[in-house]
Amino acid sequence: MSTYDLNFARWVYENVDGGDKMALCMQCGTCSGSCPLGAQMDYGPRKLFMMVRAGLKDKVLESNTLWNCVSCYNCVVRCPRQVPVKYVLHSLGTAAVRAGIPAATKSDNARFARAFWWSASKLGRTDERIVTALFYFSYGLSKGFKMAMANLPVALGLVKTKRMHIGAPYMCKNKGELKTILAKAAEIEARHAK
Amino acid sequence: MSERKTGVYLCSGCGIGEAVNMAALEAVAKSEFKLEPKCHALLCGDEGVGLIRADVEGGVNQVVVGACSSRVMADRFAFNTAMTIRADLREKVIWSHPAGDEDTQMLAEDHIRMALSHAPKVKQAEPWVEGNYSQRICVLGAGVTGLSAAKEAAALGHDVLLVERSSELGGHARLGSKRLPHKPPYDAPAENDLADLIKAVEGNSKITVKTNTTVTKTAGMPGKFAVTLSCGAVEDVGAIIIATGYRPYDPSKLGHLGYGASPDVVTNTQFEEMLKAGKPSRKSNGAAVKSVAFIQCAGSRDPNHLNYCSSVCCATSLKQALEVIHADPTANCYVVYSEMRTPGVAEELYRTAQKAGVIFIKGAVKAVDGDLTVHVADELIGENVPLKGLDMVVLATGMVPNSTNPDAAAQEYGQEQLNADIDPEAPIKVAGYCGEAPATVEKRVQAQPPGGSLLNLQYRQGPHLPVLHDGFADSHYICFPYETRRTGIYTCGPVRRPMDWAEAVEDSQGAVMKAIQAVRSASAGAALHPRVGDLSFPKVNLNQCTKCRRCTVECPFGAIDEDEKEYPQFNATRCRRCGTCMGACPVRTISFDNYSVEMLTTQIKAVKIPDEFSGKPRILIIACENDAIPALDMAAIKRHGWSAHVRILSVRCLGSVSLLCISDALSVGYDGVMLMGCKPGDDYQCHFVKGSAMAAERLSKIGETLKSMMLEPERVAQVEVSIADGERIAGVINTFVDQITAIGFNPFKGF
Amino acid sequence: MTKTMNYYPGCSSQGSGIHLDTSLKAVMGKFGISFREIEDWNCCGASVGHICQGHLPVAALSARNLAAAAAAGPEDVVSPCAACYLNTHHTNEEIRNNPEMKAEINEALGAVGKSYDGSLKVRHVCEVLVKDVGVEALKSKVTKPLTGLKVAGWVGCQTVRPFANTEAGGQWETYDEPSFLDDFINASGATAVPFKAKTKCCGGSVAVMSPDKTLELIKDILDEVKASGAQVVATPCPLCLTNMEMYQPEINKRYGTDFNFPVVFYSQLLALAFGMDAHKDAGLHQGLIPADVVVAAAK
Ligand code: SF4
Ligand code: SF4
Ligand code: SF4
Ligand code: SF4
């Protein structure tokens, strides 16, 4: 059984993007009420924040709330206490992935993010073809193939209208420079995470 | 008074001249009253006022002005050597009724008749001034409130007698740690600066401090109180300020919140002392306090304990939590609340506490175990989550007002006191209540706070200051917050309502202003509000008195005592000039120089009552000058007109309405009578506290009388109006007129 | 008047949003504004970059672009893509306001001998059109008004949220009732119909990865389009456009609807109304759902 545990709340306040502001949440529920996907979330942001305070760490990190945010920023501009709700949720998502929570690492979002990051960091640009392909095949060969086939008409449409090109991906010229910067940034980031 | 010379002045300005026939008005004065009126097109202008003034200088000593409402231009129509009577032709005639109309004209003429008919009976008021008056102010209680009051009164030039029950000055603040924020940016606990306040009081030669002292007896009246102290001394003072503060709610009644289960469950007052002593440690084992839960509303807002919100415990817990965190930034603080009440700037402290990482848990505490586990039904998560690993639980207990002296033996309200204080909760039954009748509420027992009285008043109505049902001293919350129901005695600070340090300081200033007004008015023989400056006072003709005691019982302010022979004895400076005694007296032997039952009935009878064949009913509205008359004026200003069959009689208070006014009206042929006054009850708005309740009480007995006269009880009604009812009031009147029309004409008409 | 601005086109400019890039450059050219593309720009990280990386590496992506822009000149950085603008502006503000962030980002840039001090201003192209160009100027260039064309102006979320009404974001629009898009549409001679879903979200990248969760969001918006009587939807956001085009067949299948609304960029409407080539300049042949009704409206 859980108990109120300020340590988790303190950790969130200090390590999560916007977490310091989350301490000011007054539980008004404006965020949950404004959220387009609020109904599909295990808990709306308001409740999730109270759960953080109550120290319900596992429930928080396993919740699908972290993955159902579509980044519409309704909550961010409406929160009367200026809590950057969207940033907090996404950053909690990062924390969940780092903690190796299966619900997080296996989420569509994490798979997509890995594919996306591969393209963004390795090529310097996102190539929609590569990102989607990597994403689809992260589910395994056969499921990935099915997903790809389902999306074939769209892809063909994009190719036909010259919105998806055929051939080598666009990429940055100075990929080495980008790689160095990102490596350094990751190193600094790790310093924080400890 | 020298021979009466009455001048009549009519104004045709503001459209009066266009809406009514002025010549016909003048004719009323001439033919019916043998007075020669003067008409002017702008009576309130320099020329118009000059016209009156010239007459006054020429010997006119009573001026009757037919113009606007008495509530406006009062200063223009005030003259040193003449009294003024106003007849309203504007607000209650032409602004509320159609121009050029026959009924409007009849109304205007009746207003002239009402004014002129009673004018010969009105006398210039002569004040009651006798013997010596004290300007000194006695302050009871030397906590923050009392100290501030003493300091403030002395700064305004008055000598102060400061009486404190304990051996030291400072009250609760002396034992407390920091104080709640009181200056911008209001976001952090502030230094406890009580020592400065004490120094200012002790160093002030105008203030006499008496510690270890209580008041054993208080006699007299404003300007002339004789206060006997426990040391035996008798002190003359002009006014008294009660600043006895509060005591914390008795925690032994809070077993359900863990009090007594462990030494580490303490009250906020006890915790305050621990904080003052330094970094708090556990009482059980002396270990440092690393984790504290504050349980809000401990005993407050709980029908089984204190019914009300103690208002400061939320902010106090925030402050205490911040003090804990400031002493040890790694400490964990939780606040379990049902609503955090941080009105106004206290919100800043709330924010600071949130930023500092205090966790706020909205929910109900189900139990507190001996190991300090707090079981909370968390409303926001919707689960029961135990709060474990605490070192200390602080119960945010509330305030109980010291409206009595808890150390003294109880002085019960006598039976007569109970008579005097009609149960504020009692539902009011009026013969024909018009409009929505007040909901019937369950009768609650009048509060009788434990303990002895603070002042031991030597009043016929008993030793106590009347209290509201929650035990706070009764006062007019809306208009006169510092007033108690004993004139010249004021409450401030938490004895009046729960409040914090800064509010108490402000409150003390308000009470001091009132006390100063009281001593100054007393020595001039002038009334306090709402009839500020009124020099009239009740006079009784003892030859007619039957010793029925109605006046001594009904006076809302305990102004009337009884002498050895059981005759009423008026204490003039306690009197507020409401006339409730006048309305109570069955033989009508109480009157004022400028206000009497006779003056009222004369006005009532001056109205011309058309016969039943005219199809014009007449309905009398007796309206209180404090709220009903202003509301009628507001309605008129907005041109919300009402039936022209109504005649309005302005009274000081519904309490002053003798039943004779009503029976006279019905016997001369009015078809209905409506009393219009303030809300009675525990949340009364009556400016004289009980006046409208008294009227309702008297009216409740008139039904049988009406029936025996073969009259329908529905012909008489009472309605509540507030000063803000300008939009509603015309509708209320018209509904009543329709109701009376439906009943039909008064059979006594023309009898 | 000629004016150069640092231009950050973003990845979609080379893919599904290519016609935004083309038409916008054509429109801006009319006002003497030329875009200087940031040298060797990289992806901004969009709204998913941080999930596996954390905050700083994503910020570093934008920082590299900003450093390159600052090296080219002090002019404002503009972006036509909601996400690119949002990320770049956000990082820029962090560098300006958070000394710790600034130090860390510069430490990362320092690894390749670069730095950035937060001196540039990052703006959305639409803000430039509203404030620097002005709606009146847009009207003055119209030669072939799109008279009679009924358009639903769908702003989406990130173009205005969370910055359009902040001081640093230029305070150029409100979050819930933005009017700029309707102004652009009306300037083109077309009619912006009253439309209730103006700032509703399409689901963003979640729509791309988990369409099951978000189809209903787009369907709700399409319902409003239909209720508004519009013939076509105009938007400033490349992701909005692609999501709405791409998922209409799937929505029809699932909900039994018959949506077939062409979706275009406001800049395409303007380019066409300015008398430019419907294909070469306005890219109106590049919709997954043909926008012939738009082309036909220009007279
Ligand atoms: S809108 Fe802000 S304050 Fe309200 S519940 Fe959400 S985060 Fe808390
Ligand atoms: S930004 Fe995310 S959490 Fe906030 S309202 Fe939009 S979808 Fe919901
Ligand atoms: S009410 Fe009248 S009769 Fe009775 S005691 Fe008073 S003055 Fe006398
Ligand atoms: S006028 Fe009022 S206050 Fe004065 S003695 Fe009579 S009842 Fe009491």
Instruction: Write out pLDDT tens, residues B541-583.
Output: 999 999 988 898 889 899 999 999 999 999 999 999 999 999 9
Q: Name the residue with higher pLDDT: C110 or B684.
A: C110
Instruction: Decide if B331 touches A, using CB distance below 8 A.
Output: no
Q: Is the CB of B587 under 6 A from ligand 3?
A: yes
Nearest atom (ligand 2) to Cα of A45? 3
Rounded Cα distance between B661 and B517, Å, is 34
Question: Which chain A residue has the Cα nearest residue C217?
Answer: A36
Q: Which residues pair with B623 in a beta bridge?
A: B650, B676
pLDDT attached to residue C36: 96
Query: What's the average model confidence in pLDDT over B635-648?
Result: 97
Q: CB distance from A38 to chain C under 8 Å?
A: no
Strand order in the sheet with C77-79: C33-37, C3-7, C77-79, C122-124
Does A77 contact ligand 2 (Cβ within 6 A)?
no
Whether residue B427 is predicted with pLDDT greater than 60 in this model: the reply is: no
Check residue B424 and give its pLDDT.
40
Q: CB distance from A1 to chain B under 8 Å?
A: yes
Chains touching chain C through at least 3 C-beta pairs below 8 angstroms are A
pTM of the model: 0.81
- pLDDT at position C86 is 96
For residues A49-62, average pLDDT: 91
Q: What is the pLDDT of residue A193?
A: 64
What is the secondary structure of C8-20 as a DSSP string? Answer: ---GGGGTTTHHH
Domains along chain C with CATH numbers: 3-125 (1.20.1050.140), 135-297 (3.40.50.11810)
**Tens digits of residue pLDDT in B587-608:** 999 999 999 999 999 999 999 9
Cis peptide, bond prior to residue B498, ω within 30 of zero: no
Q: How confident is the model at residue B448 (pLDDT cuts 50, 70, 90)?
A: low
Cβ-nearest to A4 among B351, B355, B387: B387
pLDDT average, residue stretch B33-40: 96
Residue among C104, C120, C128, C107 nearest C55 (CA)? C104
- Pick the range with the lowest mean pLDDT from A141-155, A167-181, B309-323: A141-155
The alpha carbon of C118 is separated from its chain's Cα centroid by a whole number of angstroms, namely 23
Highest mean pLDDT among A131-140, B460-469, C4-13: C4-13
E strand or H helix at B561: strand B560-562
ipTM more than 0.95? Answer: no
CA atoms of B384 and B375, how far apart (whole Å): 7
State how far the Cα of C101 lies from the Cα of C56, in Å rounded to an integer.
8
Residues contacting residue A168 through CB under 8 Å, at least 6 positions apart:
none
Q: Contacts of residue A47 in chain B, CB cutoff 8 Å? A: 380-381
Contact A23 B380 (CB under 8 A): no
Please tell me if the domain spanning B137-247+401-415+445-524 has the same topology as the one spanning B596-751: no
pLDDT value of position B431: 38
Q: What is the mean pLDDT of residues B443-457?
A: 67
Q: Among C42, C212, C243, C260, pick the best mutation site for testing chain A contact (most A Cβ within 10 A).
A: C42
* Domain B596-751 bears CATH identifier 3.40.50: yes
Q: For residue C204, give the nearest of A70, A84, A110 by CB distance.
A: A70
Contacts of B380 in chain A (CB under 8 A): 27, 46-47, 50
Instruction: Assess A17–C contact: CB distance below 8 Å, yes or no.
Output: yes
Task: Indicate the helix (H) or strand (E) that contains B491.
Answer: strand B489-491
A46 CA distance to ligand 2 centroid (A)? Answer: 11
* Residue B507, both tokens: 């409150």
Q: Which residues of C touch A177 (CB under 8 A)?
A: 64, 112
**Residue B430 scores a pLDDT above 70:** no
Per-residue model confidence (pLDDT) at position B587: 93
Select B1-124's CATH number: 3.40.50, 1.10.3470, 1.20.140, 2.60.40.
3.40.50
Across the interface, whether the CB atoms of C47 and A71 are under 8 A apart is answered yes
CA of A79 to the centre of ligand 2 (A): 11
Residue B426: per-residue pLDDT:
41
Protein residue with least CA distance to atom 3, ligand 1: A25
Q: How many residues does chain A have?
A: 194
Q: How would you class A128 by CB atoms within 10 Å of its CB: exposed for 0-12, middle for 13-18, buried for 19 or more?
A: buried
Looking at 3.90.1010.10, 1.10.1060.10, 1.20.1050.10, 3.40.50.300, the CATH number of the domain A8-105 comes to 1.10.1060.10
Query: pLDDT by residue (tens digit) across C72-119?
Result: 999 999 999 999 999 999 999 999 999 999 999 999 999 999 999 999
CA distance B160 to B182: 26
Region B614-627: what's the mean pLDDT? 95
Closest CA to B325 of B297, B352, B298: B352
Binned at pLDDT 50, 70 and 90, residue B460 comes out as confident
**Which residue among A16, A20, A26 has the greatest number of ligand 1 atoms within 8 angstroms of its CB, and so is best to mutate?**
A26
Assess contact for B134 and B224: CB atoms under 8 A. yes
Q: What is the pLDDT of residue B11?
A: 97
- The rounded radius of gyration (Å) of the Cα atoms in chain B is 30
pLDDT value, residue B419: 35
B574 touches ligand 3 (CB under 6 Å): no
- 8 Å CB contact of B380 and A27: yes
User: Looking at the complex, does the CB of residue A68 fall below 8 Å from at least one CB of chain C?
Assistant: yes
List pLDDT tens digits, range B469-486: 788 888 777 788 899 989
Q: Distance (Å, rounded) from C-alpha B93 to C-alpha B115?
A: 14
The residue of chain A with its CA nearest to that of C83 is A71
Ligand 2 pocket residue status of A45, Cβ below 6 Å: yes
| Helices A6-15, A45-53: crossing angle, 10 deg rounding | 120
Q: Do C and A share at least 3 CB pairs under 8 Å?
A: yes
| Nearest CB to B385; choose among A3, A25, A46 | A3
3-state secondary structure at position B161: strand
Given a cut of 90, whether residue C47 has pLDDT beyond it is: no
B77 Cβ contact list (under 8 Å, min separation 6)? B44, B49, B52, B63, B65, B67, B84, B86
d(CA B16, CA B100): 10
φ, ψ for residue B16, nearest 5 deg? -60, -45
Residue B616 has what pLDDT?
A: 94
Cβ separation of A180 and C207 shorter than 8 Å? no
* Nearest ligand 2 atom, CA A34: 5
Domain boundaries, chain A: 8-105, 108-193
For residue A16, the distance in angstroms to the closest alpha carbon of chain B comes to 14
- CATH code of the domain occupying B250-397: 3.50.50.60
Question: Is B581 a pocket residue for ligand 4 (Cβ < 6 Å)?
Answer: yes
- Flag whether pLDDT at B524 surpasses 50: yes
- pLDDT tens figures, B706-746: 888 888 999 999 999 999 999 999 999 999 999 999 999 99
**In chain A, positions 109-168, which contact chain C (CB-CB < 8 Å)?**
109-114, 116-117, 119-121, 124-128, 132, 135, 153-154, 157-158, 161-165
- Is the predicted pLDDT of residue B610 greater than 70, yes or no? yes
The residue extents of the domains of chain B are 1-124, 137-247+401-415+445-524, 250-397, 596-751
* Protein residue whose Cα sits closest to atom 6 of ligand 4: B581
Whether pLDDT at B425 is above 50: no
**Where residue B423 falls among pLDDT bands split at 50, 70, 90?**
very low
Calpha distance C60→B623 (Å, rounded): 78
Min mean pLDDT across A74-83, B280-289, B431-440, C90-99 is at B431-440
- Please identify, in words, the CATH class of the domain defined by B137-247+401-415+445-524: alpha beta
Q: Compare all CA atoms of chain C with the CA of A154 and give the residue at the minimum distance.
A: C246
User: Nearest chain C Cα to A92, which residue?
Assistant: C51
Instruction: Say how far apart CA B560 and CA B141 lie, in whole Å.
Output: 28
Would you call A94 and C45 a contact, using CB atoms and an 8 Å cutoff? no
| pLDDT the model gives residue B643 | 97
Q: Note whether B377 contacts A: Cβ–Cβ < 8 A.
A: no
For the Cβ of B547 lying below 6 angstroms from any atom of ligand 3, the answer is yes
For the stretch B686-701, pLDDT in tens is 999 889 988 988 888 8
Please give the pLDDT value at position A139: 83
Physical contact, A and B (3 or more Cβ pairs within 8 A): yes
Average pLDDT (B136-155) is 98
Better-scored residue on pLDDT, C94 or A129 = C94
**Interface contact flag, B354 A24, Cβ < 8 Å:** yes
Centre of ligand 3 to C-alpha B597, Å, is: 14
Contacts of A110 (CB under 8 A, 6+ apart): A93, A97, A104, C51, C52
Q: What percent of chain B has pLDDT over 90?
A: 80
CA distance B464 to B448: 9
pLDDT classification of B640: cutoffs 50, 70, 90? very high
pLDDT at B449: 59
Whole-angstrom distance, CA of residue B508 vs CA of residue B197: 13
Q: For residue C16, give the chain A residue with the closest CA.
A: A163
Cα distance between residue B528 and residue C268, in whole Å: 79
B483 φ/ψ angles, rounded to the nearest 5 degrees: -65, 135
Residue closest via CA to ligand 1's atom 4 equals A28
B360 contacts A3? CB cut-off 8 A: no
- Least CA distance to B386: which residue of chain A? A3
Whether residue B577 has its Cβ less than 6 Å from ligand 4? yes
Q: Tell me the H-state helices in B260-414.
A: 268-277, 313-327, 346-355
